[in-house]
Amino acid sequence: MSGAGGFFEDLFRGLLQGTPPGAVYALVALGFVLTYKTSGVFNLAFGAQAYISAAMYFKAHTLWGWPKWAALVVSAFVLAPLIGLVLERLIFRHLRTASAVSKLVVALGLSVALPELFNQAARFTAVAGRQITGIIPDGASVFYDPFGVYRFNRDELAMMAVALAATLLLAALFRFTMIGLAMRAVVESPRMTELSGINADRTSAFAWALSSTFAGLAGVLIAPRFNSLLSTDFFTLVVIAVAAAAVGKLVSLPRALLGGLGLGWLIAVFNTFLPRWSGDHTWLRPFQENLTPSLPFVVLFAILVLWRAIGREREASDPLSGVDPPPPALAALARHPKLTLFTRLFGVGFIAVVGSVVWFRAGVLWMHLVTTAVIMAVIYLSVTVITGMAGQISLCQGTFAAIGGFTIFQMADRFNMSVLAAALLGAGVAAAVGAVLSLPVLRLGGVWLAIATLAFAFFFDAVMVKFSWVGGGTTALLTGTRVPRPLVGPIDFASDRAFLVLAVVVLVIVSVVVIQLREGTVGRTLTALRGSEVAAASIGISAARARIIAFAVSAAIAGLGGALLSMHQQNVNYSTNFGPVNALFWLVIVVALGARTVEGAIQAGAAFALFEPLILKGDLLAWILRGEDHLPGLLPISGSWRLVLFGMMAIQFARHPEGLVEHGKRRASARINRWLEAREGAAP
């Protein structure tokens, strides 16, 4: 055994130990920068692409017994570029002039959909302990100790070499070749590039094939570090690597490399010295306990918030985008009066019929599902406020909802407080946290704001939940985070029917608040800001104030919804309900269906809770066919297809930011309007 060395020897060893994970971050950061430079997409789906190639390599080599080279060629050099080409042709070619935020949402949808699509199509599941064997022979078992301090295995050396070589080659590609210049030009303005005689489509396709190949290669190289292959691990890796990419402002490959390595070194040095020092200095102990597991997310958050240059970076935008038409108004605002009347009558009738069926016929399962749909609609209204009205992407709505849930757990457990009062308190706490969070991150705007909120969600998950005054600590360990239902006078909401009524009442109130907000000063201010921030500022509108209000209100609604969900389930169930990756799906499903309207949020809530049992499981079809015996053999379909379908639907966000349902409504309304007007015109 080696003994304890001096400070510098320990420091040197720590740096060496941090190099392999640093190379992992660097590899992902390089891929991230490559995608951004060649497509203008803040590609959070990079991890999903890397995962698919890694899983394909695992399946081909480990399960099917293919030779390594054949598995590598198929997974990284055939499948990966093919995915890139398909994505470019079907999705991103049509989004070149879309805003960076729109592209981010599309990438989020893909990050949710692609891994599940592969898992379902290839019937792939993680297997404990069945590691990927690296592409180098004896990659994990042959070690080299170049400095006599720490040994690297062949896989790690290969990964480091690829990261370095990729940096040099890609930098040379962009600097010295025509195709490199053309790729950057297409990102800047495809229309102007085509005026110069460059085929933008072909260039863009090559860029996507190149970046996807890199994602595939990175996936295969990184995978031996995991003892079981999970897409969520790759996603988390991408979030961490964003910090490294941010060092290079998403455009500098050498800085991304250094950022990745620096992150690995920083974590290793922290892990080397902090535990040792905290033994002598107890005041360091809380830092060690809380900082160590969350360091990547703290670094990411700190870079985004403290590095002023990040906020000043302007997103790549097409100079000709000004000629694009503005987004159309909501369908409801352009409806014929008769159609409006009919729509409202139909809505009332539909609610009456469905409500009656649920009230009189639903058993415990459907009562639970409908209540869940109503509560999720409340939570999704928070997305309506922050994304639909303010035009910002927040990826920490699950965290705000968790704050509401934990507040009622704590208040009921410690002080036996009424859970209804605690729910309102939870909404207030969430609003306060949202407002405080918004102060540093709102300056960022766009994709950086989204990433900062995601870093906050991971930080909450890694650090805050552990505190006994948040997650319950030992109390939760012994008895869980159980929450009672409310009691109001003689009405005991322990009854599922009574609780559904409460949830509906809350939904109605929150919907009214959101509509009031949208039609009031704040909503109009936000609309003005979405149109032109500069113009809005010129007439005295404070962008910061309006957005802080939007952020706080959105957080309050999410907190209230989270509290309600915890009451409904009689348990906070943090991991199931509010984890940062779980909550990504919330945004995906809302933007897929309609982020700008209350109806969109309600439809998203219904889809979240009811799509799987009604459609995928086949209950609706069974009801129509009068029995499960008549269902086709295809049913039931795995609930995971929900992720695929709504992830794919979110892809439409860039073309239809109002959501698919709203888009459909608008088209239908336009046709009916024309028909009604024609009838009125024809009438004597």
Partner 1 sequence: MFRVRRTIAVLGAAVVLAAACGNSPSGDGAAPTPDTAAPTTAAPVTTAADVPEPDAVVEAPEPDASEPDEPTADEPATTEEAPEPAADELDAAEAPEPETDDPAPTTTTEPVVEEPVDPYPHRHDFVPLDGVPGVTVDEIRVAVIGTGKNNILGTCILPCFHTGIQAYFDYVNDAGGVYGRRLVIGELLDDELGFNQQRSLEVIDGNNSLAAFQATLLPSGWGPLNDAGIPTFTWNIHSADSVNRDAIFGSFVIGCAGCTQRGLPWLAAHAGAGRVALLGYGVSETSKVNTQASADSIRLYGADVGGLEVAYVNDDLAFGLPNGIGPEVTQMIDAGVDFIAASMDLNGMLTLAQELERQGVRDQITMLHPNTYDVDFVAAAGGLLDGDYVLVLFVPFEYQSSSPLRHAYDQWVPAHGGPTAEQTMAGWINADMLVTGLLEAGPEFDRQAIIDSLNRITYGAGGLINPIDWTRQHTAVVPGVFDHAYAQECVSYVRVEQGSFVTFLPEPWMCWPGDTDAWSEPTPTDFAG
Binding positions for partner 1, 283-302, rule CB under 8 A: 288-290, 292-293
Of positions 228, 321, 340, 542, contacts partner 1 by CB under 8 A: 228
Q: Is 424 in the site for partner 1 (CB under 8 A)?
A: yes
Q: Is 587 in the site for partner 1 (CB under 8 A)?
A: no
Q: 162: which residues sit within 8 A by CB, 6+ positions away?
A: 27, 217, 221
Please say which residue, 320 or 477, places its beta carbon nearer to partner 1.
477
State whether residue 96 is helix, strand or coil: coil
* CB atoms near residue 418 (< 10 Å): 17
Of positions 483, 564, 565, 607, contacts partner 1 by CB under 8 A: 483
Positions 234 through 273 that interact with partner 1 (CB under 8 A) = 236-237, 240, 264, 267-268, 271-272
How near is the Cβ of 65 to partner 1 at its closest, in Å? Answer: 15
Token pair 């539909």: residue: 350
Q: Which CB contacts under 8 angstroms, 24+ apart, belong to 146-150?
A: 147/12, 147/16, 149/9, 149/12, 149/13, 149/16, 150/13, 150/16, 150/17
Q: Tokens for 406?
A: 């934990």
The DSSP code sequence of 415-462 is H---HHHHHHHHHHHHHHHHHHHHHHHTTT-HHHHHHHHHHHHHHHHH
* CB atoms near residue 344 (< 10 Å): 10
State whether residue 147 is helix, strand or coil: coil
Convert residues 430-469 into a mask of x (bound to partner 1 by CB under 8 A) and - (unbound). -------------------------------xx--xx---
Cα separation, 628 vs 621, whole angstroms? 8
Cα separation, 196 vs 191, whole angstroms? 9
Q: Tokens for 265?
A: 């070194």
The DSSP code sequence of 154-213 is HHHHHHHHHHHHHHHHHHHHHHH-HHHHHHHHHHH-HHHHHHTT--HHHHHHHHHHHHHH
Cα separation, 392 vs 554, whole angstroms? 11
Cα separation, 370 vs 106, whole angstroms? 29
Question: Do 303 and 246 contact (CB within 8 A), yes or no?
Answer: yes
Q: Is 282 in the site for partner 1 (CB under 8 A)?
A: no
How near is the Cβ of 189 to partner 1 at its closest, in Å? Answer: 39
Q: Is 600 in the site for partner 1 (CB under 8 A)?
A: no
How near is the Cβ of 412 to partner 1 at its closest, in Å? Answer: 6
Convert residues 38-77 into a mask of x (bound to partner 1 by CB under 8 A) and - (unbound). ----------------------------------------
Stretch that binds partner 1, among 189-197, 308-316, 338-346, 470-478 (CB under 8 A): 470-478
Q: Is 541 in the site for partner 1 (CB under 8 A)?
A: no
Of positions 570, 631, 655, 672, contacts partner 1 by CB under 8 A: 570
* Helical ranges in 78-153 per DSSP H: 80-90, 100-122
44, 175, 216, 251, 668 from 213: Cα distances, Å: 16, 20, 5, 19, 42
Cα separation, 79 vs 85, whole angstroms? 10
Please say which residue, 458 or 653, places its beta carbon nearer to partner 1.
458
Q: 42: which residues sit within 8 A by CB, 6+ positions away?
A: 36, 100, 103, 104, 107, 250, 447, 451
User: Which of these, 329, 617, 295, lies nearest to 462 by C-alpha position?
Assistant: 295
Cα separation, 483 vs 567, whole angstroms? 6
How many residues touch partner 1 under the rule CB under 8 A: the total is 107
How near is the Cβ of 21 to partner 1 at its closest, in Å? Answer: 5
Q: Is 3 in the site for partner 1 (CB under 8 A)?
A: yes
Element (H, E) at 143: strand 143-144
Stretch that binds partner 1, among 4-12, 45-53, 63-71, 340-348 (CB under 8 A): 4-12
Q: Is 281 in the site for partner 1 (CB under 8 A)?
A: no
Please say which residue, 122 or 668, places its beta carbon nearer to partner 1.
122
Q: Is 565 in the site for partner 1 (CB under 8 A)?
A: no
Of positions 316, 640, 663, 672, contacts partner 1 by CB under 8 A: 640
Of positions 13, 37, 335, 656, contacts partner 1 by CB under 8 A: 13
Q: Assign residue 416 a region: left if phi > 0, alpha if psi is -120 to 50, beta otherwise?
A: left
How near is the Cβ of 662 to partner 1 at its closest, in Å? Answer: 24
Q: Is 326 in the site for partner 1 (CB under 8 A)?
A: no
Positions 122 through 181 that interact with partner 1 (CB under 8 A) = 125-131, 140, 143, 150-151, 153
Stretch that binds partner 1, among 191-199, 301-309, 318-326, 633-641 (CB under 8 A): 633-641
Of positions 482, 497, 655, 663, contacts partner 1 by CB under 8 A: 482
Q: Is 232 in the site for partner 1 (CB under 8 A)?
A: yes
Of positions 138, 324, 492, 677, contacts partner 1 by CB under 8 A: 492
Question: Do 574 and 402 contact (CB within 8 A), yes or no?
Answer: yes
Please say which residue, 199 or 495, places its beta carbon nearer to partner 1.
495
Q: Is 90 in the site for partner 1 (CB under 8 A)?
A: no
How near is the Cβ of 559 to partner 1 at its closest, in Å? Answer: 13
Please say which residue, 73 or 513, places its beta carbon nearer to partner 1.
513
Of positions 37, 61, 225, 255, contacts partner 1 by CB under 8 A: 225
Question: Do 571 and 482 contact (CB within 8 A), yes or no?
Answer: yes
Of positions 527, 582, 631, 637, contacts partner 1 by CB under 8 A: 582
Q: Is 363 in the site for partner 1 (CB under 8 A)?
A: yes
Please say which residue, 256 or 462, places its beta carbon nearer to partner 1.
462
Token pair 């590039």: residue: 193
Q: Is 423 in the site for partner 1 (CB under 8 A)?
A: yes
Please say which residue, 227 or 527, places its beta carbon nearer to partner 1.
227
Of positions 341, 421, 624, 668, contacts partner 1 by CB under 8 A: 421
Positions 384 through 413 that interact with partner 1 (CB under 8 A) = 412-413
Please say which residue, 474 or 538, places its beta carbon nearer to partner 1.
474
Stretch that binds partner 1, among 43-51, 186-194, 329-337, 481-489 (CB under 8 A): 481-489
Question: Do 96 and 204 contact (CB within 8 A), yes or no?
Answer: yes
